[in-house]
């Protein structure tokens, strides 16, 4: 199901960085040291925004990303 709050996301398994782009702000954040299992659950979650708020937000360190967005794995 498309998310109304998350426009796209991407994951790098080598660095364990989850990149998330938000609809409202247009900002791109990188969440650090996210396990592959957490990304896989996020990717398959029916409600991406709800999963993000319950399992990623406030659970992993993050930073505001700089530069242009790359490829994404949005649903």
Taking Cα atoms as reference points, which of 8, 16, 14, 24 lies closest to residue 68?
Answer: 8
Q: Where are the domains of the chain?
A: 6-64
HSE-CB at 23 with a 13 A cutoff on CA atoms is: 9
What is the separation of C-alpha 13 from the centre of its chain, rounded to a whole number of angstroms? 13
Which residues on adjacent β-strands are paired with residue 19? Answer: 10, 30
- Condensed to tens digits (0 to 9), the pLDDT of residues 36-63 reads 999 999 999 999 999 999 999 999 999 9
pTM of the complete model: 0.82
Cα distance between residue 22 and residue 9, in whole Å: 9
Mean pLDDT of the chain: 88
């Amino acid at each position: 199901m498309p998310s109304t709050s998350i426009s796209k996301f991407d994951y790098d398994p080598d660095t364990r960085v989850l990149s998330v782009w938000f609809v409202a702000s247009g900002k791109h954040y990188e969440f650090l040291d996210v396990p592959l299992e957490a990304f896989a659950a996020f990717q398959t979650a029916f409600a991406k925004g709800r999963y993000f708020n319950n399992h990623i937000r406030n659970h992993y360190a993050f930073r505001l990303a700089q530069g242009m967005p790359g490829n994404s794995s949005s649903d």
